[in-house]
Structure 1
Amino acid sequence: MTTFGAIGIASTGMTVHRKWLDAVSDNLANQNTVYSTDEEAYRAKYVVATEIGSENGGGVQVAGIALGSAEGRLVYEPTNPLADEDGYVRYPDVDMASQMTQLIIAQRGYQANAAVVDRARASYEAALQIGRNA
């Protein structure tokens, strides 16, 4: 694999992990958004990644975004202005522990791909330096 190939593949990984971080941040930002029971709850976003074949340079890409349940969870809050006649409101079904775990995994994946780009750049610069000294 060439240095530029490694940079290209790592950059596709960075793009997927960035999209994953965006989805997790949206989920965390909306986890406490309340809806009336006659509305759909916020639907959690999940990034679906797929490989790019080696004939196209290799790497990964975002194939799409899967959405969680619009049903959410019903919570008894009779003092909430959006509560129905029985006192219930709808919250998204977003688990903070799961989202924080995904946040850490996506962050580490992004950092690992960024390190590959940095190391490939450094090796390319070293090769240029060797060429200058020869």
Structure 2
Amino acid sequence: MSDLLQGLSAALSGMNAQATRLRIVSENIANADTPGFHRKAISFESLVGNTDDSRAVAATRVTLDQRPLEQVYDPAHPLADEEGYHDGSNVDMMIEIADAREAQRSYEANLRMFDQSRRMLSSLFELLRR
């Protein structure tokens, strides 16, 4: 039964981590046109604790992408310099869409794993009642 509970815990931690990742991707997409915005990236870490369950994962820290900002030509923009350029963002929509899809699919896989573990645990309890 301990393995089933560890499976539930691992799936739940995966769902939480992917939900956090999807939130970061959403922030990047929402700020793609914000001047001076640096893309955010999130890293994951395997959790090893008192339960000795190395399958659990957590989103740890958010970092800013250090790639150079896009130079946008718009002489009418209030932040434009004397040549008419201002700093855009370094958000690449193709990367963000791919990250969003990957996070969604990973979330769904963890959800299926959680549901399967829950059904197995329910079946075990049903067998023990007999």
TM-score by length of 2: 0.88
Q: How does 1:26-105 map to 2 (within 5 A)?
A: 26-34=27-35, 41-53=36-48, 56-58=52-54, 59-69=56-66, 71-105=68-102
- Matched position secondary structure for 1:85: coil
2:19·2:103 contact (CA, 8 Å) conserved in 1? Answer: yes
What letter corresponds to residue 44 of structure 1 in structure 2? Answer: R
- Matched position secondary structure for 2:90: coil
Q: Which runs of 5+ in 2 are unaligned?
A: none
What letter corresponds to residue 61 of structure 2 in structure 1? Answer: G
What letter corresponds to residue 53 of structure 1 in structure 2? Answer: V
RMSD between aligned residues: 1.7
May I ask how many residue pairs the two structures share in their alignment? 127
2:21·2:59 contact (CA, 8 Å) conserved in 1? Answer: no
Q: Which runs of 5+ in 1 are unaligned?
A: 35-40
CA distance in 2, matches of 1:56, 1:72: 43
Deviation at 1:70, TM superposition (A): 7.2
CA distance in 1, matches of 2:123, 2:9: 19
Point out 4+ residue stretches in structure 1 off by more than 6 angstroms: none
CA distance in 2, matches of 1:24, 1:107: 11
CA distance in 1, matches of 2:119, 2:53: 21
TM-score by length of 1: 0.86
Deviation at 1:18, TM superposition (A): 0.9
1:48·1:64 contact (CA, 8 Å) conserved in 2? Answer: yes
1:46·1:66 contact (CA, 8 Å) conserved in 2? Answer: yes
Deviation at 1:91, TM superposition (A): 0.9
Identity %: 28
Deviation at 1:102, TM superposition (A): 0.5
Aligned to 2:24: 23
1:70·1:92 contact (CA, 8 Å) conserved in 2? Answer: no
